[in-house]
Amino acid sequence: MATTDSHRFDDDPAFALHRGGKLRVEGSVDVSDHEGLALAYTPGVARVCSAIADSPELVDTYTWKSSVVAVVTDGSAVLGLGDIGPQASLPVMEGKALLFRKFAGVDAVPVALDCSGVDDIVETVERMAPSFGGVNLEDISAPRCFEIERRLRDSLDIPVFHDDQHGTAIVTVAALRNAARLSGRTLGDLRVVVSGAGAAGVAVTKMLVEGGIGDIAVADSKGVIYAGRDGLTPIKAEIAEISNRSGLRGSVEAALEGADVFIGLSAGEIPESVVAGMAPDAIVFAMANPTPEIHPDVARAHAGVVATGRSDFPNQINNVLAFPGVFRGALDARASDITEAMKLAAADAIADLVREDLTADYIIPSTFDSRVVPAVAEAVADQARRDGIARA
C-alpha cells in the first residue's frame, strides 16, 4: 500500500489544523471511583437498559439519542470537488459536526458510507437510526439525493434534512425577503430566474414557490425548464409543473431580460450585459463557489443588491445560518420531521434579525451573530408544535 510523506504539508495551516482530525468524544458524567463506575456501567446501567426495554420512549431521556445527529454522506458531491469518495469527504463531515457543536450545542457524528446505490444508502441509514435523534444528509449527488431523503423521511420518525437542499433554500429565502424589502417589494412582486437545477436549485425553487414568489423560472445546462421539454428527469418535470408561469424558453441569459432576481446555483457565468438588462433595483445572488457567476463588484454597477456564497464579500449566503438552529429546534421539540412550514419559519426568523437595520450590504446576519441559532431554534420548535409533530 502506497504511503504519503505527510511532512510536505507542514507549512500549510489548513493541514496543521486538520492533523489528527477536528473532533473527539468526551464523557458528560464523572467516573473517577468505583461508585461512579458502577452507576455509569455495570451494574447500574442494566437498570436503565431494562427500563428503556419496557418503555422505549425513555431512550430520549436517559441516552444522548435525542441530542445527537448523524452527518451522512457517500462523498459523491463534496463542496466543489465532486465525487471524491467517502474517505476524502471526512474532513468536511468533521467540519459540519464541529459547526453543529459550536453554533448550536448539538453533538454530531460524521458517517461516511462506502456505498452509492439509493437502496444501500437508505437501508444503511435506517439500520443506524436508533442511535440518533436526527439525520443530516450531506454532499450526496443529485438526483439520488432527492430519492434518498424522501424515502428516509417516509421510513424514519426522526428529522431527516438534506442541508445542500434545504439549508441553502432557507438562507436564500431569508436574504431575498430582505433584499425585496429594501425597495418596498415582497416575494410576490418578484420575477426570479434560477440558474442550476441540482439539489440547491430545486430546493430554493420549491421553497420560494411555497413562500409566495411572483414567478420563477429554472434553467439547467440545456436552458429554461418548461413543461413538455424533452428529456426531463422526474424531479425536473416536477419543477416544470410549479414554475415558469410565463412560459419562457431558451437560455438563462434570455430569461433574465427584465427579471427582478438572478439566483446562481451552478458553475456557469453571467455576462455583465445580461445583469445590465435586468429590471431596475435588480437583485443578484451569485452563489457559485469559489467563483461567483459574475464578480460582485461588476454586478453592483447594475444591481441594487448583490449576495454571494463567499465570506470575503458582503451578504454571504451561508448554510451555517440555518442548519444548526433548525436541528436545535427540531431536537428540542423532539419533532418527527422537518416540514416546509418549519423551514419557512426558520427563514423568517433569520430575516427578521436584520429587518430594522437593512442596507444593500446587510440583508442577512453574520454567521457569527449569536442571535441566529436561538431565534431559528425557537421558531422551528414552535412551528413543529403547531404542525402537531412535536413530542416535547
pLDDT digits (tens, 9 = 90+) for 203-218: 999 999 999 999 999 9
* Percentage, residues of the chain above pLDDT 70: 98
Per-residue confidence (pLDDT) for residue 11, from 0 to 100:
83
User: Binning pLDDT at 50, 70 and 90, where does residue 267 land?
Assistant: confident
Q: Please say if 96 is a catalytic residue.
A: yes
**CATH fold of 163-392, please?**
Rossmann fold (3.40.50)
Per-residue confidence (pLDDT) for residue 373, from 0 to 100:
97
pLDDT tens readout for residues 103-155: 999 999 999 999 989 999 999 999 999 999 999 999 999 899 999 999 999 99
Using DSSP's 3-state secondary structure scheme, residue 260 falls into coil
Rounded Cα distance between 176 and 174, Å, is: 6
Q: Which of 96, 206, 236, 343 is catalytic?
A: 96
Rounded Cα distance between 39 and 309, Å, is: 49
Torsion, Cα 299 302 306 309, to 10 degrees, reads: -20
Q: How many other C-beta atoms can be found within 10 angstroms of the C-beta atom of residue 41? A: 11
pLDDT at 374 over 80: yes
Q: Which three cell numbers stand for residue 288?
A: 457559485
> What is the strand order of the sheet 107-112 is part of?
107-112, 68-73, 134-137, 160-162
Cα torsion angle, 211, 345, 169, 144, sign: negative
Cα torsion angle, 156, 161, 164, 169, sign: positive
The radius of gyration of the chain from alpha carbons, rounded to an integer in Å, stands at 22
Half-sphere exposure of 251 (CA within 13 A, CB side): 8
Per-residue confidence (pLDDT) for residue 7, from 0 to 100:
66
Q: Are strands 223-224 and 215-220 parallel, antiparallel or unpaired?
A: antiparallel
Per-residue confidence (pLDDT) for residue 1, from 0 to 100:
45
Nearest in space to 364 (alpha carbons), one of 166, 185, 175, 167: 175
Rounded Cα distance between 319 and 71, Å, is: 14
pLDDT, the chain, mean: 94
Using DSSP's 3-state secondary structure scheme, residue 239 falls into helix
Helix (H) or strand (E) holding 108: strand 107-112
**Cut 0.75: pTM above it:** yes
Do 203 and 166 touch, CB atoms closer than 8 A? Answer: yes
Q: Binding site: which residues?
A: 138-139, 164, 289, 318
* Percentage, residues of the chain above pLDDT 90: 89
Per-residue confidence (pLDDT) for residue 202, from 0 to 100:
95
User: Binning pLDDT at 50, 70 and 90, where does residue 5 land?
Assistant: low
In this prediction, residues 346-356 reach a mean pLDDT of 96
Per-residue confidence (pLDDT) for residue 3, from 0 to 100:
53
Per-residue confidence (pLDDT) for residue 8, from 0 to 100:
74
Do 81 and 94 touch, CB atoms closer than 8 A? Answer: no
Per-residue confidence (pLDDT) for residue 306, from 0 to 100:
98
Q: Are strands 134-137 and 107-112 parallel, antiparallel or unpaired?
A: unpaired
Q: Please say if 62 is a catalytic residue.
A: no
The residue count of the chain comes to 392
Q: Binding site for a divalent metal cation: which residues?
A: 138-139, 164
What CATH number labels 65-158? 3.40.50.10380
Do 272 and 301 touch, CB atoms closer than 8 A? Answer: yes
Would you say the CATH fold of 163-392 matches that of 65-158?
Answer: yes
Helices (H), the chain: 13-18, 34-40, 44-54, 59-62, 85-104, 118-128, 144-155, 163-182, 199-210, 234-242, 252-255, 272-276, 296-300, 323-332, 340-352, 372-386
pLDDT at 319 over 50: yes
| CB neighbour class for 339 (10 Å; exposed up to 12, middle 13-18, buried from 19) | buried
Using DSSP's 3-state secondary structure scheme, residue 137 falls into strand
Identity of the amino acid at 307: A
Do 317 and 168 touch, CB atoms closer than 8 A? Answer: yes
Rounded Cα distance between 70 and 194, Å, is: 31
Per-residue confidence (pLDDT) for residue 6, from 0 to 100:
61
Put residue 48 in one of left, alpha, beta given phi > 0 → left and psi -120 to 50 → alpha: alpha
Per-residue confidence (pLDDT) for residue 4, from 0 to 100:
59
What are the boundaries of each domain within the chain?
A: 30-63, 65-158, 163-392
pLDDT at 46 over 70: yes
